[in-house]
Amino acid sequence: MNTKNMQLEKQIDKVTLLGVELQPKEEVNNKEEESHSKEKVTTKKKNSLPKEKIDTEKKDSDSKEETAILKEKSLPQEEKNNKNKESYPKEEKNIEKREFHPVENYHLENDRHLHAKGIRIFGISILVFIILLSIAFFIFTFLNSKNENIISGISIKGIDVSNLSIEEAKETLQNYINENLPENITLVHNEYETSIPLSSLNVSFDIDSAVNQAYETGKSGNIFENGFIALKTRINPIDIELSATLDEEQLRTALNDISSKLPDTVIESGYYIEGNNLIVTSGSEGNIVNVDQMCTYIKSGISNLTLKNRTLDIATVSKQPSEINIDNIYNEIYKEPVDAYYTQNPFAVYPSENGLDFAISLDEAKEMLLEEKSEYVIPLQTLYPNVTTNMIGTEAFPDMLSTYSTRYSASDRDRTTNLQLAASKINGTVLMPGETFSYNQVVGERTIAAGYKEAPIYVSGEVVDGLGGGICQITSTLYNAVLYANLEIVERSNHQFVPSYVTASRDATVVYGSIDFKFKNNRDYPIKLVCSVSGGIAKFDIYGLRTDNEYEVEISSHVTGNTANSTYSEAYRILKQNGQVVSRELLSKDTYKRH
């Protein structure tokens, strides 16, 4: 009990509010109980006393209380405090009899004290947390500054490249692209299926730029900025776009080609020349590829790497054919004839060109189109020049490039006639650079109407009379002249038997419609063929313009073997300069039947 009293004394000494002492909660409760007990006793006494006596006691009590209050107010504050200390009960018995109030102010002050203490603790905790966080950030920033790889939280096209070196990131991306790009882009339209080779589009991904951007993220600022970015990407990762490029012009070309091959494609009106007629066709409605839309689909699929193992439906639009414009067609096909001419300084030959025109008037052609038809036929006529290329004199071809001749029997009139007819067709022919000569095309079909005669020919291994017999001698003579002019052989075939006018592997046979002899003017200047058949000699001269780097040409042919039924031979073209062999070209290896 003494211990409790001492504690109460200390609390009372410390706490004084508005000049009134505060009492402990326990004492207040005891006091309230005593007060209630006394009130009950007093009430009973009052009830038992006469009314007059009760009033008198009440007045005396009130008077005493007022006197005590006035006296207490008149005392100095220090005396009041001393008095309170002296009068503070030291025994539990006396404590219970004292009155302390107000209790509410004590609780309020105590709550304020605890609240302030809590705020101080919270503030200290926050400060400690900030200090620790700062230390951790500095450590993280320092370690990040030593990082030579891509920081964490970085991806390219959804591919995580965190903590990879530049080379590792490039390799990772390239492998991913290779795995997810198809070899062909498969396209389908109803039952029609086709594809575009990816290699034809020159697809390229800018891996270097994407990886460099990933590497520079968190490394381009100061140490603290870089650290902040490195920390931020761990919380909010960054995905870098990987750009792709392709040859869009080639893609559009491929799509337009596919459009023309659709089974239900639009059939545009058009025209073509067949013989001496112009055929104009009406079109029909159909579908075409929506090239713009398909380009967008394909570019997006390549960029996002989503085309592998996929088939794209071809986007199409319906289209009506364009109307026939006969004026445009006429302007496109009409051509004035051009006369051939040449210049000598420098030497140049300008070949003649045939012209072309409608055989009817343009108004008549328009009248034909008024009738609804799927096809219209307009007759054409050829306009010939006044001076053809073959009419140009040899002065335009100053140099003889080669010459070759063979002998024939002039007494065989029919065979001689055939030789002369064939030679006349060829004589004067001019070939421009890059142009190919066809024997059958120039000479034409060997017919009675053309003047050809029956003469000996080879048929099924036997010598029989046939129309145009002997013209192969003209072919063989021309073949050798072409070899010595160092021109390019395009097509050549040997006879069944070794002919009498040339040795093995030096001949060339022709059969109209099946076997032809062709060569190409591979020189930089036009050449002219001059042919003559007279006095038992068939001769070809080839004229042109010699250059400084001309070769000396030798032809070597020999039999390589014989059997009971066959002879084997081969021929070479040897080129020399200054007496030195520059090249040795195998011309042919041939097999002949033996007589």
* Sequence-distant (≥ 6) Cβ neighbours of residue 22 within 8 angstroms: 11, 12, 15, 16, 100, 101, 102, 103, 105, 106
Structure tokens at 115: 């609240």
User: Quick check: 355 and 337 in contact, CB under 8 A?
Assistant: yes
pLDDT of residue 344: 82
Spatial distance between the Cα atoms of 246 and 302, rounded to a whole number of angstroms: 9
User: Quick check: 324 and 282 in contact, CB under 8 A?
Assistant: yes
pLDDT of residue 48: 44
User: For the domain with range 154-266+284-318, which CATH number is right: 3.10.20, 1.10.260, 3.30.250, 3.30.420?
Assistant: 3.10.20
User: Quick check: 529 and 537 in contact, CB under 8 A?
Assistant: no
The single-letter DSSP state of residue 401 is E
User: Quick check: 475 and 483 in contact, CB under 8 A?
Assistant: no
The single-letter DSSP state of residue 309 is T
Spatial distance between the Cα atoms of 513 and 261, rounded to a whole number of angstroms: 32
* Entry field: residues in the chain: 595
Spatial distance between the Cα atoms of 495 and 128, rounded to a whole number of angstroms: 109
Spatial distance between the Cα atoms of 338 and 329, rounded to a whole number of angstroms: 21
The amino acid at residue 458 is Y
pLDDT of residue 336: 95
Spatial distance between the Cα atoms of 112 and 23, rounded to a whole number of angstroms: 18
Give residue-wise pLDDT tens across range 2-17: 554 555 455 544 444 3
Which SS3 state, helix, strand or coil, does residue 495 take? coil
Ranges of beta strands (E only) in 166-234 are: 184-189, 192-197, 204-205
Structure tokens at 474: 């003209």
Separation in Å, CA 484 to CA 574, 587, 588: 10, 12, 15
Pairing of strands 159-160, 154-156: antiparallel
| Average pLDDT, consecutive stretches of 10 residues, N- to C-terminus, the chain (595 residues) | 50 44 46 49 45 50 53 51 49 49 62 75 78 64 62 85 88 91 94 93 92 81 66 80 92 94 91 93 92 94 92 94 93 94 86 94 93 92 92 86 96 93 94 95 90 78 74 96 97 93 95 92 94 96 92 95 94 94 95 88
Tell me the sheet residues that pair with 278.
273, 378
User: Any alpha helices (H) in 88-193, and if so which ranges?
Assistant: 92-95, 104-145, 166-180
Spatial distance between the Cα atoms of 21 and 95, rounded to a whole number of angstroms: 13
Pairing of strands 154-156, 238-240: parallel
Domain with CATH 3.10.20 in the chain: 154-266+284-318
The single-letter DSSP state of residue 308 is T
pLDDT of residue 53: 47
User: What angle is formed at CA 44 by the lines to CA 38 and CA 48, rounded to 5 degrees?
Assistant: 140
pLDDT of residue 537: 96
User: Quick check: 330 and 362 in contact, CB under 8 A?
Assistant: yes
Alpha-carbon dihedral sign for residues 334, 336, 340, 345: negative
- What's the chain's Rg over C-alpha atoms? 60
Measured from the Cβ of residue 407, the count of other Cβ atoms closer than 10 Å reads 12
pLDDT of residue 193: 93
